[in-house]
Chains A and B, each alone.
Chain A
Amino acid sequence: MASKLYTDDVSLVVVLLDVNPFFWGGALKKTTTTTTNSPSVLSFSNFLNHVLPFLNSILLLNQLNQVVVIASGANTCGYIYDSSETNTSEAGVGGSGRMPDLCERVLGSLEEFVVNDQRTGWGADPTAANAASGMLSGSLSLALCYIQRVVRGGLLHPQPRILCVQGSPDGPEQYVAVMNSIFSAQRSMVPIDSCVIGVQHSAFLQQASYITGGVYLKPQQLDGLFQYLSMVFATDLHSRNFIQLPKPVGVDFRASCFCHKKTIDMGYVCSVCLSIFCKQHKKCSTCGSEFNHPHLEPISTSEQK
């Protein structure tokens, strides 16, 4: 496997952009209501102003670097941009002239994506709770699929990593899907970096970065987002062995229960399949094994005597 990698810092960065309208709409409201332009709130266009130069800078660092952008909206997620496609088509291998092209293509497909995303949402109940939380699990899976294709494909492939730029709060109902993606990322040794631009910390991403060996960061000053991105997240995996990077302060390891999708501190765990429940059940809903009932407890204690 190691022989299939390029010798130094060639990387494939899959960027997951949060384009959830519920989050950005909320952010916009805050910027308009507060008179002083608070540094902790960012409008979507400003956000893109920070992200696009970052994408460029990754492409600039090495001619063989590759960037893929995946948008996660309220109802769907999809590929927005793939730098390898430009290479083969009209722009050629030269690498120059990519930037205006990049900007145009990202913005074009983003617009298309948002319209489609909205249309898919029409059928569903707009007040549904899951809309506010975005499609982290879906976009993570897309990213991992893409990386698998690259890794299994050619003889030589760049070192893959994922960067989640997330603003929306976690959706506890996605717990199982997200955790599964995280573990498969861990298995295929793909670090997940996370940059949280929302108000709260994201427990999902804290765990994702912790488990996969990525970097978790919640920037203090969002108006300097580009500097955070270029200081921390532009570091290739090779250089990470030598550079001081933000260390996790504390990781929220709380799980969601499988029955009501609530985040819980304490719960019941199936001894067979490790499913988590907030209440005691007679039977595990995942694997079907039957549990001991509480009335057996006094008997077991008396036996111990």
Chain B
Amino acid sequence: MPQVRILAKNFMDMVAALPATKLDKLYENPFICEAVLRSLPPLAKKYALQLLFIDSPISAKTMEGWVLADGISKHRVAIDRLLQLRVFLEEIDRKKESTYKLNPKFQGNIQKYLVYGGSLPRQPMPSNVTVRLPTSVDLETYALEQWEGFLLQLISSSQVEKLTSFSASMMKFFQRGLLSPRENEAPKLTENGFQFLLMDTNAQLWYIIREYISTAEGRGVEQMDLISFLLELSFHTMGEAYNLNTLTDIQRSVIKDLANLGLVKLQQGRKESWFIPTKLATNLSVSLSDSSARKQGFVVVETNFRMYSYSTSKLHCEILRLFSRIEYQLPNLIVGAITKESLYNAFENGITSDQIISFLQENAHPRVAERIPAVPENVTDQIRLWENDRNRVEMALAHVYEDFPSKEVFEATCDFARDMGGLLWEDTDKKRLVIRGEYHQDMKDFLRRQK
């Protein structure tokens, strides 16, 4: 099993791993309270809301009474998460029972939100200063272009047109774990790297952001500041201009990096300069929970294993190349074929058939996405079969036993081995049997007793 290390949700784990005092300090910012609340599992959100206007601690037993018998595991998960993130504070009362209470800062901020309403992190600039703001379509294409450019550079593709201004050392940090450096040769994508490319944009974004934050201290930026700024950024309104002067020095240096990733667009007016958050930025806190809006797909797979991708993106081409043979590249269309060789290549790189199939399904062209299944069944089956082909032989450590003195002893040994579940093969005529390696000791003891 390949280790699934790359997960978008890990970002909140990172927040949870902060020391208690720092975490409490984070909750002074109402936007972080909001983002944290939204990242919680549904049941945990509900508990937080239920306790919002209750000042006295609630005992753990009372809370267990709220759930049905089937829900007890979900309940535990929810409570654990709430405690990890210090949204709930645990206290032991006089009767030595644990009770839960909302974090007072968190409680205060959310209460304020419900009663008075949230406010914007900062006011957008008046439109008479910022003439000609990009339209939302322009902004989206800009964001995607930036992001794809970054990804292409990340996988060191030869297709890169314009380089982002990330320093080589920063790039190395991002590539760590995704690419394996080789002497005198272009670096090769690792298993994780392939998996990374097949993830959806939000998940990729969080992975990069996580790496970015974890290396922040090396650049003299406090992790906490960065986390709070990123979460705050996601509450800005997409497409509005915000003055750069409202940011602190640290934030201003960070925002340049974020512009490279396509999270914000920087513009300069006559006197002042401003940043415009793109969809990537405003989706940051949405994608923390499981639900993320699906984007429109582009791939059509036919039953004859041909694949048509209506895409102009070079990144898509690179991704498809991971598991298929690209035949033609037209201005808006990539034609490829899924072949045994191309898939074997992918499997060798550590991509699983499920990843390929789910990629094809998630990115199915709207015309075929409505159909069930979106990818023809014979293709998905064949992909799985080809993967199984590689695992036709299973290796197991084993021991052979032979030269049994009598048929009775042989049969008793067979029965014993069968009962343990360690019997792999037997031959009654020649009185031989093969036992799984891990049962060798038990067998020796058994045979000694037989004598």
Contact = CB atoms under 8 A, between A and B. Distances in A.
Q: Please determine whether chains A and B interact with each other in the same assembly.
A: yes
Interface of A: 3, 6-10, 53, 56-57, 60-64, 91-103, 155-156, 226-227, 230-231, 234-236, 238-239, 241-244
Contacts of A96: 31, 34, 118-121, 235-237
Contacts of A61: 37-38, 45-46, 49
A231 B49 CA distance: 8
B196 to A, nearest CB: 21
Given A97-B119, A103-B117, A227 B42 contact: no
Interface in B108-130: 110, 113-121
Interface stretch (B64-72, B93-101, B221-229, B345-353): B64-72
A242 B117 contact: no
B318 to A, nearest CB: 27
Contacts of A102: 117
**Top 9 closest pairs, chain A to chain B, by CB:** A99-B117, A242-B71, A92-B237, A9-B42, A53-B114, A94-B237, A6-B291, A100-B117, A96-B235
Contacts of A227: 53
26 contacts: A9-B42, A9-B291, A60-B110, A60-B114, A61-B45, A61-B46, A64-B291, A91-B237, A92-B237, A92-B239, A96-B31, A96-B118, A97-B119, A97-B120, A99-B114, A99-B117, A100-B117, A101-B117, A155-B369, A234-B46, A241-B68, A241-B71, A242-B43, A243-B43, A243-B66, A243-B67
A7 B68 contact: no
A270 to B, nearest CB: 42
B119 A242 contact: no
Given A97-B119, A227-B53, A242 B70 contact: yes
B272 interface: no
A245 to B, nearest CB: 9
Contacts of A8: 42, 289-291
A96 B34 CA distance: 10
Given A62-B38, A63-B286, A92-B282, 8 more contacts: A57-B52, A64-B291, A94-B238, A96-B118, A96-B235, A103-B117, A227-B53, A244-B66
A239 B121 contact: no
B365 interface: no
A101 to B, nearest CB: 8
B42 A239 contact: yes
B46 to A, nearest CB: 6
B387 interface: no
Given A94-B236, A241-B71, A242-B74, A62 B43 contact: no
B240 interface: yes
B46 A243 contact: yes
Interface of B: 31, 34, 37-38, 42-43, 45-46, 49-50, 52-53, 65-68, 70-71, 74-75, 110, 113-121, 235-240, 279, 282, 285-286, 289-291, 293-294, 366, 369, 372
A3 B37 CA distance: 26
Given A94-B120, A95-B235, A231 B34 contact: no
Nearest to B66: A244
Given A61-B37, A243-B66, A99 B75 contact: no
A243 B68 contact: yes
Contact of B293 (A103, A156, A235, A239): A156
Contacts of A239: 42-43, 46
A91 to B, nearest CB: 7
Contacts of B65: 244
Contacts of A241: 68, 70-71
A63 B68 CA distance: 27
With most chain B CB atoms within 10 A of its CB, the pick from A98, A227, A242 is: A242
With most chain B CB atoms within 10 A of its CB, the pick from A99, A101, A156 is: A99
B291 A62 contact: yes
Contacts of B285: 63
A128 B202 CA distance: 58
B279 to A, nearest CB: 8
A160 to B, nearest CB: 15
A234 B74 CA distance: 18
Contacts of B236: 94, 96
A60 B42 contact: no
A236 B50 contact: no
A10 B46 CA distance: 13
B67 A98 contact: no
A231 B47 CA distance: 8
Nearest to B31: A96
A230 to B, nearest CB: 5
Nearest to A56: B114
B118 A97 contact: yes
Contacts of A231: 50
Contacts of B31: 96
A102 B290 CA distance: 27
B282 A56 contact: no
Given A62-B38, A156-B294, A226 B53 contact: yes
Contacts of B52: 57, 230
With most chain B CB atoms within 10 A of its CB, the pick from A62, A96, A100, A102 is: A96
B238 A93 contact: yes
B291 A10 contact: yes
With most chain B CB atoms within 10 A of its CB, the pick from A8, A64, A94, A155 is: A94
Nearest to A97: B120
Contacts of B43: 239, 242-243
A181 B110 CA distance: 37
B277 to A, nearest CB: 8
A170 B110 CA distance: 37
With most chain A CB atoms within 10 A of its CB, the pick from B46, B116, B294, B366 is: B46
A57 B37 CA distance: 11
A163 to B, nearest CB: 15
B116 A99 contact: yes
B294 A235 contact: no
Contacts of B235: 94-96
A57 B50 CA distance: 11
Contacts of B369: 155
Contacts of B74: 242
Contacts of A156: 293-294
B237 A242 contact: no
Nearest to B291: A6
Contact of A230 (B38, B49, B75, B239): B49
A242 to B, nearest CB: 3
A63 B369 CA distance: 25
Contacts of A56: 113-114, 117
With most chain B CB atoms within 10 A of its CB, the pick from A56, A60, A234, A235 is: A60
